Amino acid sequence: MLFHYTAFDQRNIYVEGDVDMPALEDVLKYLSNQRLKPIKVVPVNTKSNSKNIVLFQKGISLTDQIFLFKYLGLMLKVGTDILKAVDVLMQDYEKGPVKTFLLQSRSNLEKGNPFYLTFEQNEKTFSYVTINLIKAGEKSGTLQTTLEKISVNLEKDKELRGKVISALTYPIILVVMMSVLMVFLMIFLFPKMGASFTQAGLKLPAFTKLLFDISNFFNANMTMVISGMFIFPLIFYLYFFKTKAGKKQFNVMVRKLPPIRNFLNKMALQRLTSTLSSLIKAGMPLIESLKISSEAVGEETFRISLSNVATYLTQGLTIGEAFRQEKSFPKYLSNLLAIGEKAGHIDEILFTLSDFYEKEIEAALKSLVALIEPIMLILMGGVIGGVAIAVILPMYQMLGNF
């Protein structure tokens, strides 16, 4: 439980702070050990919003995580112990999720618990790979380099996300503009045009009649249509991006498209090589590193293959031979790992491959965008052209009657 205290120190100076302890008696004992004279100790209600919708809860952002790991790594590099580094970093935050996390970290460290325990207690914020990297780095005595490596990996992830978002922004804008235009035409223009054509006694083409019928349905069921425009995308997002079954189905659908399949494979291989390199460098055994990496790749095919590779290694196969057994991995990856194993530099080989796949992802992303943009333009032109023809044909017919 989190407590806020005010007290006087040995020099009779007023101080205040927060501490995470099970009970009030533990807080008083802690203050006594710190040679502080308590004035007031009150519990801090950190669970007041626990029933709020998760969608609106604020967590530790990716930017904050990068700063956190980079700062702690730098402090350890200059010889500061982890407890002192956490204490100094806390001064930069008055409140918020980062402050709460640091308070929790300090409390665990003061109790003699390992640093990685706080990350395990916040598994919804920090990835499975990050937690295990810190655990391996702390156990092997390479926590400083591990923290620096995590910050670099997170920066690369952030940069890649930015590139993907930038690449998809234009196609998304086109879709939104086309949707808004169609809704505007359906609600405001087509009903009036349909009434005019009906009064003129014109026999409408089948496509034009269908268009006007849809428009009439829109106007007759305005509330339902507008609600559906928000509800259906939300349901689509929640099912295909927030549930395991939905994610699996969505992955199967998009992987049927060769350009997207190629892009996703390169992303999975980049995550694999980067994660496996970091785990091995942090001192984690190879088989355990493979099992953890299998949860980070994000692709079911590679996840199963990595689990199989770990099994092959327990049977006495070399890493090169184990990877060769799985056809989902490129042959050059297996050959390079075999060479790296003989030279004793598997982590360096994987790191080099990770950089290679980063460049491949950028090239694949550019190719994908170059393919999507003209398809969207053709689709938009086809829809607008079809609507225009459906409206112009009856107008020509009406003019011909005069």
pLDDT at 241: 84
Strand partners, 14: 8
**Architecture field, domain 160-220+255-402:** Up-down Bundle (1.20)
Helices 222-242 and 244-254 pack at an angle, to 10 degrees, of 90
Higher pLDDT, residue 126 or 167: 126
- Please provide the size of the chain in residues: 402
Helix (H) or strand (E) holding 314: helix 300-314
Mean pLDDT over 129-134 rounds to: 90
Mean pLDDT over 60-77 rounds to: 90
pLDDT at 193: 83
pLDDT at 46: 46
Helix (H) or strand (E) holding 387: helix 346-400
Mean pLDDT over 165-172 rounds to: 82
Mean pLDDT over 129-154 rounds to: 89
319 contacts 337 by C-beta, under 8 angstroms: yes
DSSP track, 353-386: HHHHHHHHHHHHHHHHHHHHHHHHHHHHHHHHHH
DSSP assignment letter at 54: G
Mean pLDDT over 27-44 rounds to: 79
Tens digit of each residue's pLDDT (9 = 90 or more) over 339-372:
988 888 898 999 899 989 988 988 888 888 888 8
pLDDT at 326: 92
Tens digit of each residue's pLDDT (9 = 90 or more) over 316-341:
999 999 999 998 899 999 999 999 88
Residue 312: pLDDT band with limits 50, 70, 90: very high
- What 3-state class would DSSP assign to 133? helix
pLDDT at 115: 92
Q: Which amino acid is at 238?
A: L
The yes-or-no verdict on residue 48 having pLDDT over 60 is: no
pLDDT at 54: 39
Give the long-range contacts of residues 203-207, CB within 8 A, separation 24 or more.
203/397, 204/394, 205/390, 205/393, 205/394, 207/386, 207/389, 207/390
Residue 304 in tokens: 């199963």
Tens digit of each residue's pLDDT (9 = 90 or more) over 84-103:
888 888 877 777 888 889 88
User: What are the extents of the domains in the chain?
Assistant: 2-43, 56-149, 160-220+255-402
The CATH number given to 56-149 is 1.20.81.30
Distance CA 132, CA 280 (A): 11
pTM above 0.85, yes or no: no
pLDDT at 349: 92
Residue 66: pLDDT band with limits 50, 70, 90: very high
pLDDT at 314: 92
pLDDT at 216: 86
Of 214, 157, 206, 153, the residue nearest 182 (C-alpha): 214
- CA-angle at 299, arms to 294 and 303, nearest 5°: 30
Do the two domains 56-149 and 160-220+255-402 of this chain adopt the same fold? yes
Q: How many whole angstroms from its chain centre is CA 224? A: 33
